A and B are shown apart, each in its own frame.
Chain A
Amino acid sequence: MRVGEVKDDADPIARGETPAIVLERVTKRFGEGTVAVNDISFTVGKSEFFSLLGPSGCGKTTTLRMLAGFETPTTGRIVIDGQDAVTLPVHKRNTNLVFQNYALFPHMTIQQNVAFGPERKRLPRKEVQERVGEVLEAVRLRDYASRYPRELSGGQQQRVALARALANRPAVLLLDEPLGALDLKLRENMQFELKRIQREVGISFVYVTHDQGEALTMSDRIAVMNLGKVEHLGAPEEVYLRPKTLFTAGFIGQANLLPGAIETQDASGLGVRLGDGSLLQAETAADGCGVGGNAMLMIRPEHLRLELERPGGDPAIPVRLKDETFQGSWARYTAETRDGVRIVLLVPSDARPDPGVFERDVWVSCKAEHAYALPQDDDVDAATAQALSPSA
C-alpha cells in the first residue's frame, strides 16, 4: 500500500451489489443541544460482518437503534434491504436485534421464546417448529428447548437471544454489545461461534461494541466512531495498521504516539524529527502528511525494540525505563524520552534485561515499516488521542 492511499475493497457499492443497509447523511439530535449521531453515512453489504466500534457515548448504540427502528433519525435516509426504513415501524422491519441484556421472556420456555418471532409472522405451526429446531441446532441448544431462561447460564442465554433473533430470518441482524456480560473465556469462544453462525446463515451482521479486540477478530469492516461521527471505516487490518485519525490510532489497540516534524519525504517514506532531536523513518503515512508539517508517529508497543547499547545504523531514541510489568510471555515496560514523552514497549519474557537497566540510558529502535505517520492537525484534539493511548 502506497503512502496515504486508502482503498475500500469491501464496500458493497464498489463491488456493484445491492447493499443490505444504506445510511445517508444520518443525524440524530436528542432535545435541543445533544447531537448523538452527526451526519454519518455508510453501506453494509449482504452477508457482511460490520462493526460499529467506539467508546461509550460515541453514537454507536443510537445508530443501531435507528436501524432497529427504536429511534427516528432527525435528518437523513436509511434504506434496509432496498426498503426506505425511516418511517417503517419497528415490528415491520426486516431487522432483528440481539439485546445487550438478552431480554429473554422469563415466562416462556426457550422454545416459546424462539418461536415468538415466527409466530408473529403467522407462519404455519409446522414451519414455526422447523425454524425453531433449526436455529436452536445452529446455536447448539436443541436439548434445552423446554427449559426456562433462568435455568440457563449466561452464555446459553446469550445464544438463545441470538437464536430468537435469527428465527425471524432477518435481512440484517443487529447486535448490541452481545458479549458484554460474559466472562473473558466465554467471550472469546462466543466470538468464534458468532463468526461461524454468521457464515452459516449468510446474512449481514451489524455489531456494536466498545471492545476493539472483538471488532478486529470478527469484522469484515469496522466503522470507528467518536463524538457522533465515523472517524474511520475500513477492514480490520487497515484500521489497525493505517488509521486515518489520531483517535483511531489511539483507540484501536495500544499505540505510542510520538509528536514530531516531517523533514523528508521520498519513495522510501518519511523522516520525522522527534521532540528530543532524534530522527525516525516511517514507511507509511496517512493522508495529509507533507514536508514541513507536524506529525504524530504511531508505533505499536510490540514493534519497539529495546537496545542496551546505542545501535549503529538504525535510528534510535534514547530513553530511561520507568517500570516493568511481567505479563507472562511478554514483559511490558514504560519508558520516558528526554523531552518527557512516555512510551510503552513489550519485550519477550526470555529477553528481559537485568534489573540494573533502570539506572542508565537505553535506546529504543523501530523498523521503518512499523512506524506510521499521522498528520497532527490543530483541529484534531490531540489530547483525546493522548488520553486514549496507553502511554498517557
Chain B
Amino acid sequence: MHEVLDQEPQVRRRSHQRGRIVAYVTSPVVVLLVFFIGPMAVLGYMSFLKFGIAGVGGYTGFENYHDVLTDTTFWQVLWTTFTIATVAMIVMLVFALPLASVLAFKIKRFEIQLLLLLVLADQLNPLIRVYAWRILLGKNGIINSALEFLGLINQPIASLLFSKTAVVIVTSAEYLAIATIPIYAALKAVDPSMLEAANDLGAGMFTRYRKILIPLAAPGIFVALILVYIPLFTEFLTPALVGGTSGFMIGNYIEQQILKTGNWGVGSAMSFLLLIFSVVFVGIMYRLGRIGRLQTATTTST
C-alpha cells in the first residue's frame, strides 16, 4: 500500500515535467520557424519562380540559378566584394590587434570605461556614421584639405570618395569595435609576463606581435573573423553611399535585381548562393578555429 501511495505523485510529477520540457523546446522552435525559417522559405520559393515585366511567370526550376552562375557581372561583382571584404578585414585586424593589446595590457586606470566607449561608438546609427565619413573623405573634405595644407598633394584626391578605397576605409572602421572585443577578451587571458619574457630574450615589438601576441590571440581573432567577415561580405549601405561604381558590392547587385529590375527570382537565387558561400566560410573558419583552440589549450594550464 505504502509503495503505491508513494509512487503515484511521482509519476504525475514526471508527466508534468515532461509537458514543461516539451513547452521549453517547442517555443524557440516556433519562434525560429515563424521569424527565421519562414522568410527564408519564401525567399527559397521565389528563387524558383520566373519574374518578368508582366509579373510572376510561374515555376522555372533552376533557371534563375543558371542565369546567375553564367552572369559574368555576378562573378565580377562577387570578386570585387571578396577583395573589398578581405582587404577591409586585414586593415581592421591591423588596427584591432594593437588596440586590443593596449586595452588588455597597457591601460591600467580607465580600461572598462574605454571598452564601454568602444561599444558605444559602435552603437551609433550606421547611416550617420557613413555620412560622417563622406564629409571626411569628400573632394573638399577634411582629409583632402589636410593633405593639401601639409603640401603632400597638389590637388584633392578625387578617388577618396566613391571608390573601393572608400568602402574599405569606412567598413573597416565600422566593424572595428566588434573585431576588437573578442581579441581583447582572448588577450586578457594571456599572462603579460609572456611579453616581457619575449622582450627580455631579444624580441622587438614586431616580433612580439608575430611570435607571441598573434598566436595567443588566435581564438579571439577567429571569433572576430566570423563575426565581421559575413556582414562585411553582405555590406550594402556603405557601398551604396560611398562606393560609387567601382565599389559596387554583391549586396548592391541583389538590391538592384530586386528593387530596380524587379527580378525577385534572380535576386533570391543570388541571396541563396551568398548564403551557401557564408555557410562554407563559417565551416572553414570553424575547423581552423578548432585548431587554434587546441593550441591555446596549452596556454591556460601554465
List A residues at the B interface (Cβ < 8 Å): 68-70, 90-92, 95-97, 99, 101-107, 116-117, 120-121, 148-150, 157, 164-165, 168
Selected from B193, B202, B203, the residue in CB contact (under 8 A) with A103 is B193
Residues of B within 8 A of A120 (CB): 201-203, 207
Q: In whole angstroms, what is the CA distance A120 to B211 when docked?
A: 11
Residues of chain A contacted by B193 (CB below 8 angstroms): 99, 101, 103
- 18 A-B pairs whose Cβ atoms sit less than 8 Å apart in the complex: A69-B200, A90-B200, A91-B199, A91-B202, A97-B196, A99-B193, A99-B197, A103-B197, A105-B211, A106-B296, A106-B300, A107-B215, A107-B295, A120-B201, A121-B202, A149-B301, A164-B201, A165-B200
Interface residues of B in 182-218 (CB under 8 A from A): 191, 193-194, 196-204, 207, 211-212, 215-216
B118 to chain A, nearest CB (A): 27
Are A106 and B202 touching (Cβ within 8 A)? no
Given A99-B197, A101-B193, A103-B194, is A91 in contact with B298 using a C-beta cutoff of 8 Å? no
Q: Which residues of B contact A101 (CB under 8 A)?
A: 191, 193, 302
Cross-chain contact B298 with A106 (CB below 8 angstroms) = yes
Looking at B201, B202, B203, B299, the one whose CB has the most chain A CB atoms below 10 A away is: B201
Which chain B positions have C-beta within 8 A of A168?
201-202
In the bound complex, do residue B201 and residue A107 qualify as a contact, i.e. CB atoms below 8 Å apart?
Answer: no
Contact A107 B200 (CB under 8 A): no
Residue from B194, B201, B212 within 8 A of A117 (CB atoms): B201
Q: Find A107's partner among B191, B196, B199, B216 (CB 8 Å cutoff).
A: B216
A91 and B196 CA atoms in complex are apart in Å by 10
CB distance from B164 to the nearest CB of A (A): 36
Among B194, B196, B197, B203, chain A packs the most CB atoms within 10 A around the CB of B197
Beta-carbon contact of B203 and A91 below 8 Å: yes
Known: A101-B193, A116-B211. A106 touches B301 (CB 8 A): yes
Chain A contacts of B302 at CB under 8 A? 101-102, 104, 106, 149-150, 157
In whole angstroms, what is the CA distance A121 to B207 when docked? 12
Cα A164 to Cα B193 with chains together (Å):
15
**Which residues on the B side are within 8 Å of A91 (C-beta)?**
199-204
What 18 additional pairs, Cβ within 8 angstroms, besides A68-B200, A92-B202? A70-B196, A90-B199, A91-B199, A91-B203, A91-B204, A97-B196, A97-B200, A103-B193, A105-B211, A106-B299, A107-B215, A116-B198, A116-B203, A148-B298, A150-B297, A150-B302, A165-B200, A168-B201
Cα distance, A8 to B191, chains bound together (Å): 41
- How many angstroms from the CA of A392 to the CA of B295 in the assembled complex? 52
- In chain B, what residue has the closest Cβ to A174? B200
A148 CA / B199 CA spacing, docked (Å): 21
- State A25–B197 Cα separation when bound (angstroms): 27
Residues of A within 8 A of B215 (CB): 107
Residues B200 and A96 in contact, CB atoms below 8 Å apart:
yes
B298 contacts A150, C-beta separation under 8 Å: yes
Residue of B nearest to A102 (CB): B302
Our pick among A69, A92, A107, A164 for the contact of B296 (Cβ within 8 Å) is: A107
Contacts of B301 in A (CB 8 A): 106, 149-150
Whether A99 contacts B196 in the complex (CB less than 8 A), given A106-B302, A116-B201, A121-B202, comes out as yes
Per-residue contact bits, chain B 272-302, to A (CB 8 Å; 1 contact, 0 not): 0000000000000000000000011111111
- The smallest beta-carbon distance between B6 and chain A, in angstroms, is 51
Tell me whether A149 and B298 are in contact in the complex, defined as CB-CB below 8 angstroms, given that A70-B196, A105-B194, A116-B198 are known contacts.
yes
CB distance from B201 to the nearest CB of A (A): 4
The CA of A117 and the CA of B207, in the complex, are separated in Å by: 12
Q: Which of A92, A106, A168 has the most CB of B within 10 A?
A: A106
A103 in contact with B298 given A91-B203, A117-B202, A120-B203 (CB within 8 Å): no
B88 to chain A, nearest CB (A): 28
Q: Quick one: closest B residue to A164, CB to CB?
A: B201
Closest chain A CB from B87 CB (angstroms): 28
CA of A314 to CA of B296 in the docked complex: distance in angstroms?
69
Chain B minimum-CB-distance residue to A91: B202
Q: Find chain A residues with CB under 8 A from B207 CB.
A: 120
Whole-angstrom CA separation of A69 from B202 in the bound complex:
12
Q: Which residues of chain A come closer than 8 Å to B202, judged between CB atoms?
A: 91-92, 117, 120-121, 168
A92: chain B residues at CB < 8 Å are: 202
**Contact residues in A for B200 (Cβ distance below 8 Å):** 68-69, 90-91, 95-97, 165
